[in-house]
Chain A
Amino acid sequence: MSADNIVLIVILGVLALFLLYLWMSYNRLVSLRQRVKESWSDIDVQLKRRASLVPNLVETVKGYAAHEREVFENVTKARAALMSAGSPQQAAQADNILSGALKTLFAVAEAYPQLKANENFKQLQSELFDLEAKIAYARQFYNTNVRDLNSSIQSFPAVLIARNFGFKEEVYFETEEAARADVTVKFTS
């Protein structure tokens, strides 16, 4: 075998490895992006469920405390903002405001014993609390996936592939509350 042939084989081998790498990285980025999309729809489902309970709640509370108009307005406004939110960031912001408004509403409800004893109200209250927990968990899963995608896109040499094939970094679903320090977890095996 001549030296030329060997050089040719080496070049072809390197080229093949490069293509293989390209292919694997591309697939990895696609699946990461897919995971972000799926987990966003998980959040979306929970946000919509929550928003759909709000009018019912407002009606129930109105029956007992009709003059607390400002509270109702805030809740309704926050709900409208949440429904029309375009980006994860806007949604997180609106969701945060809605949480605050609902908190005020439930605080106000404390002053109305009859309302507090209403079965429908109790049911709605516990469902809304549960949904708040679910949204928190869905957010956590979504943010993990966004973090995975973003850190893959930023790291070299995947950054070259990401740029050329139009992979973009995604936005975190983040509220002020979420900025609290992450638990640091060390993996040892």
Chain B
Amino acid sequence: MSQSSSHPSSLNIYTAIEANRRRTLILTASLVLFAGALVEVIGLALGLPAITAAIVAGIATVIALLVALGTYRSGDALVLSVSEAQATEREQYPDLYRTVENLCIGAGLPMPKIYVINDGAPNAFATGRDPKHASIAVTSGLIEKMSNLELEGVIGHELSHIGNHDTRLMLIIAVMVGWVAIVVDVFLRFTWYGAGARRRYQGRGENAGGAVLLLLAVVAAVIAPLVAWVIQMSISRQREYLADASSALLTRYPEGLASALEKIAGDKDPLDVSTKGTAHLWIAEPFKGQKSAFNALFDTHPPIQDRILRLRAMEA
């Protein structure tokens, strides 16, 4: 770390890779343990004996671990198929391929696979566990609405995510957050049914302890996705700034990305293929016009105007 503060670019990218590796580990470990703990609490709330609950929780932890490993290997395919991305050939989009190829040379990255999503909203994302297994997906709206220089800015941003190894972390987040949401949803239902059943069979007097645990379970079930989203949000924002800056460095033309972001922000088409689990993958917030104060709390991206301002400040 001691060298050359005058050349922040590469240093920052390698530091970013290191930080991403650490975050990926911490996040995966805590999500796995979190899943186990959640199952334990809910099990106790359901009135299972402590030992049974612990065994079930152990099994859940192992399953979560397997899911994490599966995510690492094949999560990109999942994310791409959820987003309805189609694999493409060079002949279909020669200009797009040339842009990606040239920027890859500039960034020293291998050529990623290119997918196109048939959606009018201009947006894009990158995924893959490392630069050798990376994919870039762009919407048909992006290809139609962007000029060449704007497209370069967007692709540069996505390639930076790949180069910084952001894609691996984002992949794990996407699939794990999805899983936490599903698990919580399932248990929430079971808890209601379970509680109802117990009440019917046990009578009223002895159920105070059960009620407390039930409350705990509900709280945990509500908090779980919130925690997951907060994690998702906090790591995502810094990454976007860094990827914007790296893109500007790569294309030597910050205005390209700035004006692309402006176009994306001004576009009225909502992106149909995005879900909560994949929201943080896209170059810009995919949920438009459905914003509430509550949603703002869990923004996956920094305000787009702020990103544009920062990019324009680079040109001075």
Q: Which residue numbers of A lie inside 8 Å of B, CB to CB? A: 35, 38-39, 42, 46, 130, 133-134, 137-138, 140-141, 144-145, 147-148, 151-152, 155, 158, 182-189
Contact A148 B313 (CB under 8 A): no
Instruction: For residue A107, give the distance in angstroms from its CB to the closest CB of chain B.
Output: 23
Contact A185 B105 (CB under 8 A): no
Closest to A35 in B: B108
Scoring B residues 297 to 316 as 1 if CB is less than 8 Å from chain A, else 0, what string do you get?
A: 00000000000001001111
Residues from chain B with Cβ under 8 Å of A38 in the complex: 108
| Assembly CA distance A46 to B10 (angstroms) | 24
Contact B9 A185 (CB under 8 A): yes
Closest to B254 in A: A183
Max count, chain A CB within 10 A of own CB: residue among B8, B105, B107, B253: B105
Q: Is B276 close to A, CB under 8 A?
A: no
| Assembly CA distance A34 to B7 (angstroms) | 19
| Assembly CA distance A133 to B253 (angstroms) | 14
Instruction: For residue B44, give the distance in angstroms from its CB to the closest CB of chain A.
Output: 41
Q: Is B292 close to A, CB under 8 A?
A: no
Closest to A130 in B: B98
Contact B248 A152 (CB under 8 A): no
Closest to A32 in B: B10
Closest to A188 in B: B241
Instruction: For residue A55, give the distance in angstroms from its CB to the closest CB of chain B.
Output: 24
Interface of A is mostly: helix
Residues from chain B with Cβ under 8 Å of A145 in the complex: 108
Contact B4 A155 (CB under 8 A): yes
Contact B314 A183 (CB under 8 A): yes
Contact A188 B310 (CB under 8 A): yes
| Assembly CA distance A157 to B108 (angstroms) | 29
| Assembly CA distance A133 to B241 (angstroms) | 26
Instruction: For residue B40, give the distance in angstroms from its CB to the closest CB of chain A.
Output: 36
Q: Is B130 close to A, CB under 8 A?
A: no
Residues from chain B with Cβ under 8 Å of A46 in the complex: 105
Chosen A-B contacts, 26 in total, with CB atoms closer than 8 Å, are A134-B101, A137-B102, A137-B103, A137-B106, A141-B106, A141-B108, A144-B9, A145-B108, A147-B7, A148-B10, A155-B2, A155-B4, A183-B252, A183-B254, A183-B314, A185-B9, A185-B245, A185-B248, A186-B313, A187-B8, A187-B9, A187-B242, A188-B241, A189-B238, A189-B241, A189-B242
